[in-house]
Amino acid sequence: VTGLSPHFPILKEFQDASYLQRYDLLCQRLVQEQLYTTAALIASPRTAIETAEFSGLSAMTDLKTFVTSLAGHIAAEAARLEDAPR
């Protein structure tokens, strides 16, 4: 993606980055700035409709990282509910 913007300067890391790379950077920043607990970004080719093939772009936005974090939140909530007075 070309980095032409007549109104606002483009951050260096977004210059010449693909849309997919930009989405990955956005997700990483949302997590780093603690606006999101975790985020996942997966990509798949158009031909994956039959193979279900997909890939992640970075360790921080990988599907495994997302699912692991979600499982941790579920376990914590389950433990909290078990300890709650009835």
Percent of the chain with pLDDT over 90: 70
What pLDDT shows up at residue 3? 63
Count of domains for the chain: 1
Read off the pLDDT of residues 50-77 as tens digits, 9 standing for 90 and up.
899 999 999 999 999 999 999 999 999 9
Neighbours of 1 (CB within 10 A): 13
Tell me whether residue 1 is in a domain.
no
What pLDDT shows up at residue 11? 82
Tell me whether residue 5 is in a domain.
no
pLDDT bin (cut points 50, 70, 90) of residue 39 is very high
Tell me whether residue 2 is in a domain.
no
Tell me whether residue 7 is in a domain.
no
- Model confidence, pTM: 0.78
Torsion angle of the four alpha carbons 38, 46, 54, 19, in this order, in degrees rounded to the nearest 10: -40
What pLDDT shows up at residue 28? 97
